[in-house]
Amino acid sequence: MNRSKDSGGYDKGRLDGFNRGKQDGYNKGREDARGTMTSPLNPQNSQTPQTPQTSQAPQTPQTSQAPEDPQNTPLNEVSLKWREFHCADKISGHFGHPVTLNDGAMECLKDTVKSTIWRLEITANQQSYPMILKIFKAPVANQDLIELNMYRKASGILPDLMPLIYSIEEGISGGDIWVFMEFVQQLKGQVNFTPDHFDKIIPALAKLHAQTHNERFLQHWDVFADWLPRYHSESSTAERQKNIKETLQYLDKAMDRPDLKIRLDSSYYRLQIILHKGPDFFPELLQAGKSIIHNDLQSPNIGCNNVVDANWNIKFIDWEGARFAPCWFDMFNLLGVFFAYRKDWRSEEDAVIHRCAHLYAAEMVKYGINFQEDPVKLYKMAYLQRVLERSLYLQLQWATEGQKQAFLLEGYLEKIEVWGKELGLY
pLDDT band per the 50, 70, 90 thresholds, residue 21: low
- Containing domain of residue 407, as a range? 195-422
- Of 133, 141, 135, 64, nearest to 97 by C-alpha is 64
pLDDT above 80 for 22: no
Note whether 228 and 304 are same-domain residues.
Answer: yes
Domain end, chosen from 129, 163, 183, is at 183
If you average pLDDT over residues 394-418, what whole number do you get? Answer: 96
pLDDT band per the 50, 70, 90 thresholds, residue 20: low
Identify the pLDDT of residue 75: 82
Average pLDDT, the chain: 88
pLDDT above 80 for 10: no
What are 50-102's pLDDT values in tens digits? Answer: 433 433 333 334 444 444 454 555 689 999 999 999 999 999 999 999 999 99
Number of domains comprising the chain: 2
As a whole-number percent, the residues of the chain with pLDDT over 90 amount to 81
| Structural domain contains residue 23 | no
Note whether 129 and 208 are same-domain residues.
Answer: no
Three-state secondary structure of the chain:
CCCHHHHHHHHHHHHHHHHHHHHHHHHHHHHHHHHHHHCCCCHHHCCCCCCCCCCCCCCCCCCCCCCCCHHHCCCCHHHHHHHHCCHHHHHHHHHCCCEEECCCCCEEEEECCCEEEEEEEEEECCEEEEEEEEEECCCCCHHHHHHHHHHHHHCCCCCCCCCCEEEEEEEECCCEEEEEEECCCECECCECCCHHHHHHHHHHHHHHHHHCCCHHHHCCHHHHCCCCCECCCHHHHHHHHHHHHHHHHHHHHHHCCHHHHHHHCCCHHHHHHHHCCCCCCCHHHHHHCEEEECCCCCHHHEEECCCCCCCCCEEECCCCCCEEEECCHHHHHHHHHHHHHCHHHHHHHHHHHHHHHHHHHHHHHCCCCCCCCCHHHHHHHHHHHHHHHHHHHHHHHHHHHCCCCCCCHHHHHHHHHHHHHHCCCC
Note whether 366 and 258 are same-domain residues.
Answer: yes
Note whether 144 and 258 are same-domain residues.
Answer: no
351 by Cβ neighbours in 10 Å (0-12 / 13-18 / 19+) ranks as exposed
- Of 355, 400, 403, 357, nearest to 379 by C-alpha is 357
pLDDT above 80 for 231: yes
| Structural domain contains residue 298 | yes
- Of 280, 251, 279, nearest to 265 by C-alpha is 251
CATH number, domain at 138? 3.30.200.20
Identify the pLDDT of residue 245: 98
Note whether 179 and 204 are same-domain residues.
Answer: no
pLDDT band per the 50, 70, 90 thresholds, residue 47: very low
| Structural domain contains residue 56 | no
As a whole-number percent, the residues of the chain with pLDDT over 70 amount to 83
Note whether 86 and 146 are same-domain residues.
Answer: yes
| Structural domain contains residue 84 | yes
Asked if 140 and 177 touch (Cβ cutoff 8 Å), the reply is: yes
Identify the pLDDT of residue 403: 86
| Structural domain contains residue 79 | yes
Note whether 107 and 231 are same-domain residues.
Answer: no
| Structural domain contains residue 68 | no
Q: Is the pTM of this model over 0.85?
A: no
Note whether 405 and 315 are same-domain residues.
Answer: yes
What are 233-260's pLDDT values in tens digits? Answer: 999 999 999 999 999 999 999 999 999 9
What are 162-214's pLDDT values in tens digits? Answer: 999 999 999 998 899 999 999 999 999 999 999 999 999 999 999 999 999 99
Note whether 199 and 276 are same-domain residues.
Answer: yes
Identify the pLDDT of residue 174: 87
| Lowest-confidence region among 38-42, 325-329, 363-367 | 38-42
Note whether 209 and 132 are same-domain residues.
Answer: no
| Structural domain contains residue 48 | no
pLDDT above 90 for 157: yes
- Number of Cβ atoms within 10 Å of the Cβ of 81: 18
Let me know how long the chain is.
Answer: 426
What are 288-319's pLDDT values in tens digits? Answer: 999 999 999 999 999 999 999 999 999 999 99
Domain end, chosen from 183, 205, 229, is at 183
Asked if 71 and 43 touch (Cβ cutoff 8 Å), the reply is: no
Identify the pLDDT of residue 57: 36
pLDDT above 60 for 8: no
| Structural domain contains residue 201 | yes
- Number of Cβ atoms within 10 Å of the Cβ of 272: 13
pLDDT above 80 for 41: no
pLDDT band per the 50, 70, 90 thresholds, residue 272: very high
Domain end, chosen from 120, 154, 183, is at 183
Note whether 151 and 278 are same-domain residues.
Answer: no
Note whether 172 and 205 are same-domain residues.
Answer: no
Please, what is the angle between helix 234-255 and helix 268-275, to 10°?
Answer: 160
CATH number, domain at 395? 3.90.1200
